[in-house]
Amino acid sequence: MPLYGVIEAGGTKFVCAVASGPDAIENQVSIPTTTPQETLNTVINYFAEYLAPSRRKLDAIGIACFGPVDLDEKSAHYGYITMTPKPGWVNTEIAGFFGRAFGVPVGFDTDVNAAALGEYNWGAGIGLDSLIYLTVGTGIGGGAIVNGKPLHGLMHPEMGHILVRQDKNDALEGFCPYHQNCLEGLASGKAVDLRWGKHASELPDDHPAWQLEADYLAQGLVNYILTLSPKRIILGGGLMQKKVLYPLIRDKVLQYLNGYLAVPSLTAQIDRYIVPPGLGTRSGICGAIALAIQAKNNGE
């Protein structure tokens, strides 16, 4: 059985696991994100100490990383975190650092592209060659699978930062430092907390917060539907634990499309078109496993 080291690198924690497949995660730890040097060395020590007693070696590593990151394999900074607002992490090498430490191939992508890949392989996207995974938590980010592959281009999608129309009764000054009232600035968990002065988990299902939230997210989804034409949209992240959001978002998406896309798999089956993650909260770590498997196969 091949053995993979997998890392879901986030702004607050690095979830690391040793696995041979999505249903065979034999050990998993969570390491707080501090300075790059301390965090990355703690991750290396975890793998080394876990594997030492059995004298096993990793076959490949998969990394689902917070970004923005450089995914251009021709670039001198491929596998780096680039211009993050996170202090100390600007221009931090990630993929190459682990590749050299363990002498194995490394698969590397954004956290959300990886989550999309995990869902594509083993979750709510099985059998579809095109889908979007959007996480709605403290921030908002999205990844896309197009023709069976994570979407890369100029860089990678930054779906949280698209522009939406602000509700005329919503006085919130969006907090995005770059665009103020982009989707993340108006609809992330942080925006909900700021607008209502309460944590999202304290707002009841019939609170007007959720109608407004569904409206903004639906605007985002309609834009993605009209540009990337995904065959399914998977909504994950902390805020989507609020299950009342799913029907509200589905209704608003149909309202905004206003009959324009006469595709039965969307209009007649919207419950199956906009869905929660099939892998629950494991989309990212499973995506990292998928990246590791690809890296191993490409290296052979």
Minimum gap (Å) between residue 174 Cβ and Zn ion: 8
Report if residue 152 touches Zn ion, rule: CB under 5 A: no
Nearest to 234 by CA among 282, 273, 270, 184: 273
**Of the ranges 60-68, 153-161, 276-284, 288-296, which one interacts with Zn ion (CB under 5 A)?**
153-161
Q: Residue 18: CA atoms inside 13 Å, Cβ hemisphere, count?
A: 20
- The C-alpha torsion from 25 through 27 and 33 to 35, rounded to 10°, is -120
**Of the ranges 25-33, 42-50, 52-60, 179-187, which one interacts with Zn ion (CB under 5 A)?**
179-187
182 or 240: CB nearest Zn ion: 182
Could you give the CA distance from residue 29 to residue 31 in angstroms, rounded to a whole number? 7
Token pair, residue 216, equals 């903004």
Report if residue 179 touches Zn ion, rule: CB under 5 A: yes
Minimum gap (Å) between residue 180 Cβ and Zn ion: 8
Radius of gyration, alpha carbons of the chain: 19
**Of the ranges 131-139, 159-167, 235-243, 262-270, which one interacts with Zn ion (CB under 5 A)?**
159-167
Report if residue 176 touches Zn ion, rule: CB under 5 A: yes
Binders of Zn ion: how many residues, by CB under 5 A? 5
List the one residue from 77, 152, 161, 207 that touches Zn ion (CB under 5 A): 161
Which residues inside 182-211 make contact with Zn ion, applying CB under 5 A? 182
Could you give the CA distance from residue 169 to residue 244 in angstroms, rounded to a whole number? 22
Nearest to 97 by CA among 21, 142, 160, 42: 42
Please write down the long-range contacts of 207-212, taking CB distance under 8 Å and 24 or more positions apart.
210/242, 210/244, 210/245, 210/248, 211/248, 212/167, 212/170
Nearest to 214 by CA among 256, 259, 169, 154: 256
Minimum gap (Å) between residue 240 Cβ and Zn ion: 20
Does the CA dihedral 71-77-79-85 come out positive or negative? negative
Minimum gap (Å) between residue 216 Cβ and Zn ion: 13
68 or 276: CB nearest Zn ion: 68
**Of the ranges 16-24, 170-178, 244-252, 279-287, which one interacts with Zn ion (CB under 5 A)?**
170-178
**Of the ranges 54-62, 114-122, 173-181, 283-291, which one interacts with Zn ion (CB under 5 A)?**
173-181
Minimum gap (Å) between residue 177 Cβ and Zn ion: 8
Contact 8, 115 (CB under 8 A): no
84 or 241: CB nearest Zn ion: 84
Minimum gap (Å) between residue 239 Cβ and Zn ion: 17
| Secondary-structure percent of the chain, ordered helix, strand, coil, rounded to 5 | 40, 20, 35
Minimum gap (Å) between residue 279 Cβ and Zn ion: 27
Q: Which residues are near Zn ion by CB under 5 A? A: 161, 176, 178-179, 182
